[in-house]
Structure 1
Amino acid sequence: MPTTLITTPTFARHSTRPWQILEEAGADPLRPCEDAALPIADLLKYAPEADALIVGMDAITAEVMDASPRLKVIAKHGVGVDTIDVAAARSRGIPVVCAPGSNSRAVAEYTFGLLLSATRSLAASHTSVAAGGWPKLFGPELHGKTLGIVGFGRIGRLLAGYARAFGMELLAHDPYVPGADVRAHGAEPVALDTLLARADAVSLHTPPDPSGAPLLDRARLAAMKRGAVLINAARGGLVDERALADLLSSGHFGAAALDAFSTEPLPADHPLRQAPRTLLTSHMAACTPEANQAMGAMVAEDVVRVLAGKGPHHQVR
C-alpha cells in the first residue's frame, strides 16, 4: 500500500472529504504532526517510506527528494510552489501538483480586509479599547483613492472588483497579462515603478524572485508615495522588511499590513514587530473552510491519479 506523507497540519482541517479520497484509493495518508508543520528532521526520517508528499510551506529540496526513493508525486496544499524545487523534481521525473484557484477568493477578501483595517486603524483601536482607552483614530476613505495591484492573476482580479465597488481607481502591473485583459477588469496597465509612484495603496499578488531578491527593495519602497499603504498577503520575500520598518518609523508610509514574512513564525527581534502603524497577521489569508476543503480535495485527487499511473489535472509546468 502506498504511503502519502502529509506535512501540513491544515490538510482536511475543515472537511473529511480530502482524507476520504486518499483512504478510499488505498493511498494510506499519514500525518505524524497534527498541530504544526513537520520539522525537517522528521520529514527526512519519514521520507524514505513516502510514495507521495502533501506539503504546506515546507522547503522540499533536492535533499528531501533524494531521501525519498519511492516518491512519485509532490502536492502543494495551496497554490504557490516557490518552496518546492520544481526543477529538481522534474529532473527526477516527479510531478509537482497544486490547487490553482482554490483559495483565490479567500485571499482576495482577506486582502481587502487588511486594506480597510490598515487605513482605518481598526486593530490599533481594538487594542486601545480593550486596554481601557477610547481613541478617535482618523484614516482616509478609500473612495477616490488609487489602488495599485502587483500581479493580476485570479486574486488580483477579484481584489480589483472589490476595490471598484468602493469607488477606487485601479492600476495593475503584470508582465504576463495582456493590457487588454487588465483594462477589461477596470484597471490601467502600467510599469511597476509608475504604479509605485502613483498608488495610494499597493497590494502584492506575485511570486518572489527565484534569486531571493525582494521585488520592493529599499529604493523602490522609498519611491512610493508618501503616506501610502502597503499590503502583502503573498510572500514575505517580496519586501525588504527592515527597510519597510525604517520607512514606517520615519513616517514615510501611512501604514502597512502584512500576512506573509521572509521568516515564519515572526522572530522576536523582527523590526516590524516594533514598527508603528503596522498590522501583522499569521499567514492566514487562505484560511477559510471553503478554501481548505477545495484545496485538500484537489491535491488528494491528483495524488490518487498519479499513484494509479494517470496524469494529474493540476501539474506545475
Structure 2
Amino acid sequence: MRVLVATEKPFAAAAVEGIRKEIEGAGNELILLEKYTDNAQLIEAVGNADAMIVRSDKVTKEVLDAATDMKIIVRAGAGYDSIDTAYAKEKGIIVENTPGQNANAVAELVFGMLVYAVRGFYNGKSGTELYGKKLGILAFGNVGRNVARIAAGFGMEVYAYDAYCPKEVIESAGVKAVGSQDDLFRTCDIVSLHIPATPETKESINYAMVGLMRKGGILINTARKEVINEAELIKLMEERSDIKFITDIKPDADAEFAKFEGRYFSTPKKMGAQTAEANTNAGIAAARQINAYFKDGCTKFQVNK
C-alpha cells in the first residue's frame, strides 16, 4: 500500500523517521509531500495513494475526488475540521484522528500564555498570580484533563463543564463539576476553551457568555478560532476594560483586537502542538493506525462513522 504524508507544515525530521520506520516496517511504501505551496500539488499527489497522513492540511472535496484509491486518512492531531469528513464518508474513505497525542503540549502552552498574561505581558509593572485563582475548563477531554493536572500544581481551584462527560468522571480527577456553561463563566476568574468547532459550538463564545465573567476575567483559547464570536467579543472588550483575551489561533479580526493593548495576545500561528514530542507522537500514532487498518481493519479512531 502507498501511504502519502502530505504536510504543508512538515513534521520534525525525527517524526518523519519514526513514521517511515512504522510504514515501511509493515511492508508499505511511504511517499512524502512536504512544504507544498499549491493545492494542485496535493491533488496530484493523492492520485495513487491508498492512505494519507495530514496535519492541519485542508482535505476538500476536490482533493477527495482526486484520491481515487484512497481508503483511509489520518489527521495527526485531535481536531479534524480541516477535512471534509462527510464527503469522505460518501466516498467510502475512513477519516481518523490521533486524540491525546498533543494534549500535554497544548496544556503546557495554556499556562505559558496565562503566566504571560497575569504578569502584564512582562511590562515591568506589578501583575497577579495564578495561585488561588478559579480556573474553568470548558470540555474535559484529553487537553482539558492535562490542563487540570497542571493547574493543581499552581494551586488553582479548578472547575469544569462538559456536556458529554459525566460529573463523576470530572470529580474523580479532583475537579469541581459545574452544572452549565453559564455557571462555569460566572464562577471562574479564567476560562480555558477546549471545545471542537461544531455547528453547536461555532461562535458560541459570545458577548453574553463572556460577559458573565467576574471582574478581571481572562478568556484563553487553544481550541478553534471558529468558536469565538469575534465581533461580539470586541464589543464586550470595548465596554469592559477589565477583560483579557489570550489565544493560540490568530483571529480574523486580529487588527481590531490589537487595539486592546495589555489585554490581548495571539501567537503568530497556532503553536499548541508545536513541540518535538507532540510532533513525533502524533505522526507515529497516525502511522500505526494506518498499519492497523490495513492489517486488521481496525477503525478505533474513526471520526466519520
For normalisation by structure 1, the TM-score amounts to 0.85
Q: For 2:149 and 2:140, how far apart are their aligned partners in 1?
A: 12
The answer on whether the counterparts of 2:135 and 2:190 sit within 8 Å (CA) in structure 1 is yes
Report the more deviating stretch, 160-169 or 279-288: 160-169
The answer on whether the counterparts of 1:98 and 1:315 sit within 8 Å (CA) in structure 2 is yes
Distance 1:109 1:159, change over 3 A: same
Is 1:273 aligned to 2:258, yes or no? yes
Identify unmatched segments of 5+ residues in structure 1. Answer: 126-134
Identity within the alignment, %: 34
Counterpart amino acid of residue 146 in structure 2: L
Q: For 1:297 and 1:288, how far apart are their aligned partners in 2?
A: 14
Q: Deviations over 1:122-164 (max 9, x none)?
A: 3x53xxxxxxxxx3x2222222221111001121112112222
Is 1:217 aligned to 2:241, yes or no? no
The answer on whether the counterparts of 1:47 and 1:68 sit within 8 Å (CA) in structure 2 is yes
Q: For 1:300 and 1:196, how far apart are their aligned partners in 2?
A: 39
* Residue 99 of structure 1: how far off its partner (Å): 1.4
* Residue 92 of structure 1: how far off its partner (Å): 2.2
Q: For 1:213 and 1:100, how far apart are their aligned partners in 2?
A: 21
Q: For 2:77 and 2:301, how far apart are their aligned partners in 1?
A: 11
Report the more deviating stretch, 89-98 or 108-117: 89-98
* Residue 210 of structure 1: how far off its partner (Å): 2.9
Q: Deviations over 1:27-62 (max 9, x none)?
A: 43333333xx65333322333233222112223233
Task: Name 1:161's counterpart in structure 2.
Answer: 149
Task: Name 1:6's counterpart in structure 2.
Answer: 6
Distance 1:246 1:47, change over 3 A: same
Q: For 1:76 and 1:314, how far apart are their aligned partners in 2?
A: 10
The answer on whether the counterparts of 1:4 and 1:54 sit within 8 Å (CA) in structure 2 is yes
Task: Name 2:92's counterpart in structure 1.
Answer: 93
RMSD (CA atoms): 2.4
Distance 1:121 1:262, change over 3 A: closer
Counterpart amino acid of residue 96 in structure 1: V
How many residues get paired?
300
Counterpart amino acid of residue 258 in structure 1: T
Q: For 1:287 and 1:144, how far apart are their aligned partners in 2?
A: 29
Q: For 2:5 and 2:139, how far apart are their aligned partners in 1?
A: 32
Q: Deviations over 1:222-258 (max 9, x none)?
A: 2322320011111111112233334334444432210
Identify unmatched segments of 5+ residues in structure 2. Answer: none
* Residue 120 of structure 1: how far off its partner (Å): 1.0
SS state at 2:33 partner: coil
Map of 1:126-275 to 2, 5 A cutoff? 135=124, 137-190=125-178, 191-210=180-199, 213-261=202-250, 270-275=255-260
The answer on whether the counterparts of 1:235 and 1:262 sit within 8 Å (CA) in structure 2 is no
Counterpart amino acid of residue 6 in structure 1: A
Q: For 2:49 and 2:251, how far apart are their aligned partners in 1?
A: 29
Q: For 1:253 and 1:93, how far apart are their aligned partners in 2?
A: 50
Return the match for 2:287 from 300, 303, 306.
300
For normalisation by structure 2, the TM-score amounts to 0.88
* Residue 63 of structure 1: how far off its partner (Å): 3.0
Task: Name 1:118's counterpart in structure 2.
Answer: 117
Q: For 1:33 and 1:293, how far apart are their aligned partners in 2?
A: 16
Counterpart amino acid of residue 198 in structure 1: T
The answer on whether the counterparts of 1:5 and 1:50 sit within 8 Å (CA) in structure 2 is no
The answer on whether the counterparts of 1:12 and 1:18 sit within 8 Å (CA) in structure 2 is no
The answer on whether the counterparts of 2:77 and 2:282 sit within 8 Å (CA) in structure 1 is yes
* Residue 295 of structure 1: how far off its partner (Å): 0.8
Task: Name 1:29's counterpart in structure 2.
Answer: 30
Distance 1:14 1:117, change over 3 A: farther
SS state at 1:234 partner: coil
Report the more deviating stretch, 269-278 or 111-120: 269-278
SS state at 2:135 partner: strand
* Residue 290 of structure 1: how far off its partner (Å): 1.4
